[in-house]
């Protein structure tokens, strides 16, 4: 079971006008695996995630979920999104709804689940991330870190089998990064399959089973985290990682 | 200023009758204007081809011409094409066309205030287009649209003051009549002002109350705080 | 029949007369818009003073002027003032007074909200950089306030142009009146004249106001933060 391929991407291509964002991406993700995608901004890593759940239409190649092609035009987004959850950099909670309504709306309306059952599940999840007291708050009354944790619950309550995280800590104040990443770490313990785009290098090293380094719309390197961070196999990845290090900077 | 109270007493019922006509026409026109505005703004928001461009032209045409001129055209111009419209119908049609273009703008402002990322987040949760409209876009858009919508309602009620030109015995018509007949200018004008205050003050108070409630109960962190 | 109608527009001096009528409309608009801008700016600044008496008086003035239909104000000025004060106002003068009073109220409110919309930290950070009071307004506050003020002020100007059409109802000879005269004069030779004349007036108003609306929209979009 553990080695079963959950998500298979074959020769994915994406263009905007005459600009090619993703050139030829192939990848296999096994059940329970945590994939971290890193790379310079504009390398196409966010677009890649968005292609997986139909937020972007793809211009070539295919995506398979449990051996079933899900990238065709006739596939309903509603169905895919129940299997593949996504969390964004800008949280995007619905401003007009309370926390509990934000979390339960899709489960009730899209999955047609019972309100009582969903609310119970929502409360359990809220308690798990330490936000049980925020049930009736509105998004604007929350901090960035709190909003992001709720955005995660909002996706998790649909019981997805894969989670996509698109730079979920990029717009947070530093002291809030940890509380959000802890939720993801908790998910790895539960065996959730995840694709994570992030700039938090030590976090990437800690949670990733495999690291994919993207540049210029291509996969430049695929490696296990220890090797990738200590001895990257490609020059471009090495240069990229160096830009995060300060040990060569001498003060005075 | 010496006011003839007997005169006021005698003619107040005439004003009351005229006020009823004004209110009836205004209500009908405003309801139809809101429906027109909704239709136009949704078609424009969804970018439905052809219809969208047509409605754009409509909004521009009627937002940039006075109601008085629109009424002259409908009431005196169109019959020359064989299209005869009665006075009240003209008044309602004029108010609907003018108001529709204003209401469309109010709704457009609301719809465009809902950011693209809100819609994407809803898409990622698997909502259908209709569900996104109903649960995400409309509630947020309404909060932004209601203040301009209220302003438009007051504006449209005020605009009804030109209805006398299509031979309707509205408030202005009665006032002008009495001034012409009896030279009781002060009394006639006073009754006119009071009549409009009775109609407009409650609406205006209600509007500011509604606006305040939306502002303080505002749930969003953008636009309406 | 209908080709006869459209000929009315080009016969003799009819076209020229209509345009001269438009000139009266434009003259009235330009005078009152300029005066309203100047007086409205003063009023808007007064309103930000937070002086209780000033606040009370300006508020009452603003609310009364705004809630009354402009036509009622015109009637009060034209019929009421004439009698009450014994001065004989021409329709044009009465219109100038009313539109300046109305324009000042609306403009004052726009100026006020533009001024209070500048966040306090803009004043503070300017002061922290050592700007003098005048420099602070000249380089930091005014440029931002103007960006918020100019688009709605332009929209107010188009509304004022459109509202000037009402002066025909107090006997000012402007475009609509000229149109009526032409239609009257050609009643037998061109029975469909009403269609063409009122249609022409409709579009003359449209093309007077539309460029302003477009420019306001364009500026608003460009200056949006």
Q: What is the 3-state secondary structure (H, E, C) of chain A?
A: CCCCEEEEEEEEEEEECCEEEEEEEEEEEECCCEEEEECCCCCCHHHHHHHHCCCCCCCEEEEEECCEECCCCCCCHHHHHHHEEEECCCCCCCCCCCHHHHHHHHHHHCCCCCHHHHHHHHHHHHHHCCCHHHCCCCHHHCCHHHHHHHHHHHHHCCCCCEEEEECCCCCCCHHHHHHHHHHHHHHHHCCCEEEEECCCHHHHHHHCCEEEEEECCEEEEEECHHHHHHCCCCHHHHHHHHCCCCCCCCCC
pLDDT of residue B221: 40
Q: Does B70 touch chain C (CB under 8 A)?
A: yes
Q: Tokens at residue C31, please?
A: 């005078």
- What is the second-level CATH architecture of the domain C2-223? Orthogonal Bundle (1.10)
Q: What is the pLDDT of residue A53?
A: 85
In a domain, B223, yes or no: no
Tell me whether residue B224 is in a domain: no
CA distance B139 to chain A (A): 7
Question: Is residue B107 very low, low, confident or very high in pLDDT (cuts 50, 70, 90)?
Answer: very high
Min mean pLDDT across A103-107, A242-246, B24-28, C148-152 is at A242-246
What's the CA gap between B65 and C206, in Å, rounded? 5
**Domain ranges (residues) in chain A:** 5-242
CATH of domain A5-242: 3.40.50.300
Whole-model pTM over 0.90? no
| Structural domain contains residue B91 | yes
Query: Strands of A68-69's sheet, edge to edge?
Result: A19-30, A5-16, A60-65, A68-69
- What CATH number is given to the structural domain containing B17? 1.10.3720.10
Model confidence at B223: pLDDT above 60? no
Are C69 and B1 a contacting pair at CB < 8 A? no
pLDDT value of residue B224: 35
With a cut of 80, say whether residue B217 has pLDDT above it: no
Q: Under an 8 A CB cutoff, do C80 and B185 touch?
A: yes
Q: Residue C5: pLDDT band by 50, 70, 90 thresholds? A: low
Residue B220 has pLDDT above 60, yes or no: no
Read off the pLDDT band of C2 (50, 70, 90).
very low
| Chain B residues within 8 A of A96 when measuring between CB atoms | 139-140, 143, 219-220
ipTM confidence score? 0.88
Q: How many CB atoms lie within 10 A of CB B53?
A: 13
Assign C34 a pLDDT band (cuts: 50, 70, 90).
Answer: very high
In total, how many domains does chain B have? 1
User: For C224, phi and psi rounded to 5 degrees?
Assistant: -65, 130
Asked if residue B222 belongs to a domain, the reply is: no
pLDDT of residue A188: 92
pLDDT at position B205, please? 92
**Which residues does chain A have within 8 Å of residue B225's beta carbon, measured at their own beta carbons?**
140
Residues of B whose CB is below 8 A from A94: 118, 121-122, 135-136, 140
| Per-residue confidence (pLDDT) for residue C166, from 0 to 100 | 93
pLDDT bracket for residue C204 (50, 70, 90): very high
Tens digits of residue pLDDT in B30-66: 999 999 999 999 999 989 999 999 999 999 999 999 9
pLDDT of residue C3: 54
Q: Which portions of chain A are predicted below pLDDT 70?
A: 1-2, 247-252
Give pLDDT tens digits for A86-119.
999 988 888 888 999 999 998 888 889 999 999 9
**Structural domain span for residue B95:** 5-216
């Amino acid at each position: 079971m553990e080695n079963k391929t959950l998500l298979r991407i074959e020769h994915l291509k994406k263009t905007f006008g005459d600009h090619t964002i993703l050139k030829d991406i192939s990848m296999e993700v096994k059940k329970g695996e945590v994939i971290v995608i890193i790379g310079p901004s504009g390398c196409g890593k966010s677009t890649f995630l968005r292609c997986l759940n139909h937020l972007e239409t793809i211009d070539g190649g295919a995506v398979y979920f449990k051996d079933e092609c899900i990238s065709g035009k006739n596939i309903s987004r509603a169905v895919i999104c129940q299997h593949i959850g996504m969390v964004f950099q800008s949280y995007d909670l619905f401003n007009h709804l309370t926390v509990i309504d934000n979390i339960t709306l899709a489960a009730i309306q899209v999955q047609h689940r019972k309100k009582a059952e969903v609310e119970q599940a929502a409360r359990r999840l809220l308690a798990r991330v330490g936000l049980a007291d925020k049930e009736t708050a509105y998004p604007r009354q929350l901090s960035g870190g709190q909003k992001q944790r709720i955005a995660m619950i909002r996706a998790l309550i649909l019981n997805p089998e894969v989670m996509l995280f698109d730079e979920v800590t990029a717009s947070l104040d530093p002291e809030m990064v940890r509380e959000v990443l802890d939720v993801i770490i908790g998910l790895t313990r539960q065996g959730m399959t995840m694709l994570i785009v992030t700039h938090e290098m030590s976090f990437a090293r800690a949670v990733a089973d495999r690291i994919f380094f993207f540049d210029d719309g291509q996969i430049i390197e695929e490696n296990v985290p220890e090797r990738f961070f200590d001895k990257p196999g490609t020059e471009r990845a090495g240069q990229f990682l160096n830009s995060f290090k300060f040990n060569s900077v001498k003060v005075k | 200023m010496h006011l003839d109270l007997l005169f006021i007493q005698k003619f107040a019922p005439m004003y009351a009758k005229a006020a009823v006509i004004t209110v009836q026409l205004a209500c009908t026109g405003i309801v139809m204007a809101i429906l027109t505005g909704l239709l136009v703004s949704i078609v424009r928001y969804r970018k439905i081809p052809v219809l969208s461009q047509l409605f754009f032209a409509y909004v521009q045409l009627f937002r940039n011409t006075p109601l008085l001129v629109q009424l002259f055209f409908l009431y005196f111009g169109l019959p020359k094409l064989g299209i005869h419209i009665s006075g009240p119908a003209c008044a309602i049609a004029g108010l609907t066309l003018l108001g529709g273009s204003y209401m469309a703008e109010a709704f457009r402002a609301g719809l465009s205030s809902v950011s693209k990322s809100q819609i994407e987040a809803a898409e990622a949760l698997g909502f259908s287009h209709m569900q996104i409209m109903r649960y995400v876009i409309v509630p947020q858009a309404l909060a932004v649209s209601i203040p301009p919508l209220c302003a438009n309602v007051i504006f449209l009620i005020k605009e009804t003051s030109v209805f006398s030109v299509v031979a309707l015995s509205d408030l202005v018509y009665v006032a002008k009549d009495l001034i012409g007949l009896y030279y009781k200018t002060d009394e006639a004008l006073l009754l006119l002002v009071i009549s409009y205050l009775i109609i407009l003050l409650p609406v205006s108070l209600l509007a500011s109350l509604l606006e305040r409630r939306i502002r303080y109960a505002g749930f969003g962190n953008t636009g309406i705080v | 029949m209908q080709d006869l109608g459209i000929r009315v527009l080009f016969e003799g001096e009819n076209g020229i007369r209509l345009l001269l009528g438009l000139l009266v409309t434009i003259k009235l608009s330009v005078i009152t818009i300029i005066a309203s801008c100047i007086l409205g700016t003063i009023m808007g600044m007064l309103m930000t003073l937070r002086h209780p008496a000033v606040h009370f008086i300006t508020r009452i003035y603003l609310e009364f002027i705004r809630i009354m239909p402009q036509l009622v104000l015109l009637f009060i000025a034209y019929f009421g003032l004439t009698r009450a004060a014994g001065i004989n106002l021409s329709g044009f003068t009465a219109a100038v007074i009313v539109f300046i009073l109305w324009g000042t109220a609306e403009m004052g409110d726009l100026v006020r909200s533009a001024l209070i919309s500048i966040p306090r930290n803009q004043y503070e950070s300017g002061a922290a950089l050592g700007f003098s009071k005048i420099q602070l307004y000249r380089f930091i506050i005014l440029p931002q306030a103007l960006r918020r003020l100019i688009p709605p002020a332009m929209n107010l100007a188009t509304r004022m142009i459109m509202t000037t059409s009402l002066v025909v109802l107090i006997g000012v000879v402007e475009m609509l009146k000229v149109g009526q005269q032409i239609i009257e004069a050609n009643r037998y030779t061109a029975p469909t004249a009403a269609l063409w004349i009122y249609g022409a007036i409709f579009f003359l108003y449209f093309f007077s106001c539309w460029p302003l609306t477009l420019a306001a929209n364009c500026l608003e979009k460009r200056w949006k933060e």
